[in-house]
Amino acid sequence: MTQENEATNEATNGAAGAKDYTAQGIQVLKGLEAVRKRPAMYIGDTSTRGLHHLVYEVVDNSIDEAMADYCDDIQVTIEKGDVIKVVDNGRGIPVDMHKDEGKPALEVVLTSLHAGGKFDKGSYKVSGGLHGVGVSCVNALSEWLKAEVYRNGKIYQMDFERGALVGALQEIGECPPDKTGTTITFKPDHQIFPELVFSFETLRSRLRELAFLNRNLNIVITDERGETPREETFHYAGGIVEYVRWLNESRQVICPEPVYFEGEKDGVQVEVAMDYNEGYSESLFTFANNINTTEGGSHLSGFRAGLTRTLNAYANKSGLMKKDMKGFTGDDVREGLTAIVSVKVPEPQFEGQTKTKLGNTEVKGQVEALINTHLGEYLNEHPKEAKGIINKCIAAAQGREAARKARDLTRRKSALDSAALPGKLADCSSRDPAECEIYLVEGDSAGGSAKQGRERRFQAILPLKGKILNVEKARLDKMLGNDEIRTIITALGTGVGAGVFDITKLRYHKVIIMTDADVDGSHIRTLILTLFFRHFREVIDHGYMYIAEPPLYRLKKGKTEIYAYSDIQKDRLAEEMGNKGIYLQRYKGLGEMNPDQLWETTMNPDSRTMTRVTVDDAAEADHIFTTLMGDEVEPRRRFIEENAAQIKLEDLDI
């Protein structure tokens, strides 16, 4: 779906300039729909993801003020009771009467679905919340919402309950004439959201991302729910250059400083920051008007085309290209690349309200031309770094050819009768991927129990011997030489690598990691997750990846036998059971369970507990995987020190 019925009034408002942000700049697209009846249409869903989306909608209004150069400070607070307060020092939402609606503009913005300054080019040149449904949706889905505006030397307030006005606009005080801004405080509605608990980490990731994308913007997040408040401040004078540095902090880079260039044409602003590292994965993130375009779009296409063309041209011109090479492919030039592409488009066309793909065709040529010009200049002016980049591409091309040969060995035959699988995979009888699941099990002992206890019709078991290769430190051709990884690839049936991987050929729609509840088990689980995040990302994105949750304890008293999956649950169960005469068994490994116990606690669909693996923040996940599994020791040590407080002594396997 492209942009909805944009109302324009260029002739009258455009000439007035962006500073004339008044009630007349608020234009209404008629027809308030029942947001409370179908909230998923506007915020995606009513799970924790949708809950956090409410905060993003409010913050996006403040970010729009920042992009218009009227705001440089945003404060987000999680108050006790999971109440959210967002404060900015922008111009303040207008409070004068709207000529068409006969209401204060503030009320129009907060109660009309398609209302806002985003539809009027005189108020905002560039905006993320283009559809104008954001803050009104937040109001509709909140138990209560309070809006305060600092403007004209006065403080104004309006109060709402579940979207309805309960406190008319009132002047509640005075403020310095130069003080402006908006404060929105709201409590999400428990009638809409089953779980009303905000994650500090989730909000922190998005706010940090916004600070990277808007240089010199100060964003503070505070959590007042605990005994000791948590607070973090994000302020990046270097903008997306610092974003690239942050992503690469656990990697050895080729260019001492990230390559940065920007340009503007026909009102479209383009920013690019990039660097290469000694790793083998691509970390490329694109944004349009501060929105993370996870499905890419025209700006991504333009960047990729420009990058491939420019590096091929330089390699040939400089004589660095190997004589037996025809040229670099797109995959060759993106191995080890870390890049941020951010565009600001006056009239963006996004696919759907979720805005995950940019559709403006003119942006592709503008980004490609910028790359061709500025990256070409950089390579000519920095021959040492240019040689390092080209050599990296040459090694990638050679590795691609080696991987092609190695990949041929992993191709699955129709009946899975490959010689690589004798005695390894205990396959299921069903051939319907939708009902099939495969357990990636740590060790032959647990694998044996799982094979005996499973439901053979739809459950497959693949025991893994030892720890698989750390793919964060290995190119695809080396990865394909690892027996355990090759077995996983063959069992999945999708193939691996660009141009080969095909998610439609996945043989199991539940891929379940089942490891011991100890340090080694955690390490093996992380290695497998790294493999899937780097090479089978679509398996995760489609919701096919799970982690089994085996019990930690078995409590037995007389003929009563109960399993506990946490220390809290164990203590609570011991108290239903009287705290006396209880035999307590702590499971260190899956192999300690009998087949029937493993089935009942961990594999039976009617009684098991599993965690689905999702990637809500790809950049954060990329950063963590590199920190934990990369070459640099210092960032890993720092990560462990910062998170040591969350580790319980009884969980340490020492």
Q: Which residues are catalytic?
A: 442, 516, 518, 520
**Lookup: tokens for 504:** 């439609």
Question: Closest Cα partner for 87 from 102, 77, 97, 100?
Answer: 77
**Concatenated DSSP letters for 239-297?**
THHHHHHHHTTTS-BSSSS-EEEEEEETTEEEEEEEEEBSSS--EEEEEETTEE-TT-B
| CA 9 to chain centroid | 36
Question: Closest Cα partner for 250 from 650, 647, 629?
Answer: 629
Contact 215, 68 (CB under 8 A): no
Cα distances (Å, whole numbers) of residue 84 to 38, 61, 199, 405: 23, 15, 12, 55
User: In the chain, what's the furthest Cα-to-Cα distance?
Assistant: 85
Strand pairing class (259-265; 268-276): antiparallel
Strand pairing class (545-548; 510-514): parallel
**How many whole angstroms separate alpha carbon 74 and alpha carbon 71?**
8
- Find tokens 């099939």 and name the residue: 436
- Hey, how many other C-beta atoms are within 10 angstroms of the C-beta on 430? 18
- Find tokens 């008007």 and name the residue: 289
Q: 351 burial class (0-12, 13-18, 19+ CB within 10 angstroms)?
A: middle
The amino acid at 178: D
Rg, C-alpha atoms of the chain: 28
Q: Is the dihedral of CA 278, 328, 311, 343 positive or negative?
A: negative
Beta strand spans in 289-372 (E): 291-292, 337-344
**How many whole angstroms separate alpha carbon 123 and alpha carbon 116?**
9
Phi and psi at residue 97, in whole multiples of 5°?
-70, 135
Helices (DSSP H) in 552-617: which residue ranges? 567-576, 595-598
**Concatenated DSSP letters for 401-462?**
HHHHHHHGGGPPPTT---TT-TTT-B--S---TTT-EEEEEESHHHHHHHHHHS-TTTEEEE
